[in-house]
Every structure is written in structure tokens, then in C-alpha cells.
Structure 1
């Protein structure tokens, strides 16, 4: 059986890299634009990072199936409306739904979300993870190139003050190493 096929016979969509960097009162989420199916690049310029909520005060990036991610973006926007823009509360409520709802439970994606105060990773297991931060800042990353970007960003935290520069350089490192990540980066800042 082709290793790009799951046990149920459907082709799995591979890879992406999304990174979140919080430093000096600014938060950046950056993501690459490559969509791959097996060994083929299907689209080089997808937009996996976007603004959500009232006046775009929340930014979010996804790794995983595109249709699933759009569903999660829409659900998160509804939760933000219900909870008056409070990202932490909206994220916890989305994570609960994602874990317990029969339909949402099957969605295959991870998300990094942020506003001016908080940076989070959301998973379908019900996890709402806030990366450990210190005086140097906080970093989190997801996707096939996530560990490469995370390592590069952590190495830069002590030397670089601009979170956008850290995110862009970390994405460049991931694009050089991960075949499912390219250098067409989308960056959003809050």
C-alpha cells in the first residue's frame, strides 16, 4: 500500500509549518504556503495564517486539512463573539467542543492562536497549551516543520528583539530542512 494513504484509503495531506513568537509586547504568527499531497506540491501559496474576531484582534494559523481548519476558524470566531473577544475563554470552549462533538472530533488540524495578551496551541484532544515564556519571550510551533522552526526561534530569542524577524528566520530554517514547508510566508502581528 502506498505510504501516503491512511488505512481507510484516503490520501493524507502533509505538512506545513506555523510558528508563534511572543516578545516585548508583540506577538507574531507566521506560516508557510505549501500544500502537499504525497510527494506533489499542490499549491505553493496557501494562506494558513489569518485575522479573526472583531477588528482582527486575534490571529490564527493552522496545520492540517484545509477544510477542517476553515471549520475551526469559523467555530473560533463564533466563540469569540459569544465570549466578547476573550481569547482564552473562547479557546477553552472550542477545545471542549472539538474533543466532545461527534463531527468536530474527526477534524485533523492543529491551531496556534493569539491576541495581544495570550499565545496558545489548540488541539483536537481538548488541549489549550500556553507555551512557557520567560523574560526572553515565548515560542510555539506546529506542523511537519514545527520542530525545526521552534528550535531556530528558541536559539534567536536571546539575540533578537523583533518577534517578526525571529519568526521569519525560523520559517526560513524550516523551509530549508522540511520538504513539506516552503518559503512563501504569511505573517500577522498583534
Structure 2
């Protein structure tokens, strides 16, 4: 039997959120890798959820099953607090930090309702990014740097997100150029 420390681990995913001009764009690549092997190139890591008609876009990095569990929990929190993304995110982060089952989940989320954007982590963090750009995942720092360099340009949120993701895909071996892009306005 192989110990988990010997398991090569899943790598992959770059997710970026860019807020500009009254809109938020969340984009994610499609690559899933196991060790040195690309398992799938067309994974969809950015999704829309609409509990009670309140639309939210979420992108996730980390374990897919864990991320779906978190997205379901977020949707439940949003149903309990309609139109209050920040409150739902904080409640999810509290549960994630204190619940023994949820503590084992390995994923991160970027969520937005078009007006607000947050990064939610298993450490109990709900972070509102500075400079209206957030990025997570293995290529997140590359995408973040590229988007930060472009945020004051004439490009809109969609163009910035796509350009930043292309730069990350050129640098990070765990990121590809097969994008899922969702836009949500205030």
C-alpha cells in the first residue's frame, strides 16, 4: 500500500477574478494533472450558481469533489441569506474552519455576485482582494501579476482575465489555455 505522502498529488488549475467597469470576470483553465501526467485538459472549474435567483459566479482550485462540496454549502448559505454574498462567504468559512468533515477539504474559491469579489479558504479566510484582482491555484501568482500590470490599461475585465490566463499558461506547466470564462455585472 502506498502512503499518501508518496502519492504524486493532483496539480493544476489557475483561476483569476478581475473586477473592472461594473463587471467581474472569473476565468479558469481546464487542465488537471496527476504528477507529471495531464489527466484532462477540458475541466470546467468556473461555474454559475443561482440560489433563489441570486446569481453568483465561482471558480475553484484544488480537489474537484471538495470544491463541489464547498459550492453546495455556499449555495445553501446563499439561500439562507439571500443577496448577501459576504455574509454567506463568512458563514461558509466559519463552518469550513470548525467542522471536522469540512476541515479535510482541500480547495479554494473565488466568488462574485458582480458587486463584490472574495477569495474563500479553508483557513477561515474571506479575503476581498486589493486592486480588484484575485487569483488562486498553481498558476495564480503568474496570472495575478499579469492582471495587476494590466488593470489600469484600456482593456476591460474580460480582456485582462484572458490575457493574464494566457501568460500563466505560458509559464505554469499545470495550466493550459483551454478557458472557461464567466462574466457577471453589478
Where on the TM-score scale, by shorter chain, does this alignment land: which range?
over 0.9
1:64 maps to which residue?
A: 62
Kindly state the Cα deviation for residue 58 of structure 1 after the two structures are TM-superposed: 0.3
Unaligned runs of 5+ in 1: none
Find the counterpart in structure 2 of residue 166 from structure 1.
160
User: Which of the residues 146, 170, 183 maps onto 2:177?
Assistant: 183
Partners of 2:151 and 2:4 in 1: how far apart? 38
CA RMSD of aligned residues (A): 1.5
- SS in structure 2 of the partner of residue 88 of structure 1: helix
Relative to the length of structure 1, the TM-score reads: 0.92
The number of residue pairs the alignment matches comes to 182
Unmatched segments (≥5 aa) in structure 2: none
Q: CA deviation at 1:53?
A: 2.4
Cα contact 2:54–2:83 (8 A) shared by 1: no
Q: Aligned match of 2:46 in 45, 49, 53?
A: 49
Counterpart among 127, 134, 138 of residue 140 in structure 1: 134
Alignment of 1:18-167 (within 5 A): 18-54=15-51, 55=53, 57-133=55-131, 138-167=132-161
Q: TM-score, normalised by structure 2?
A: 0.94
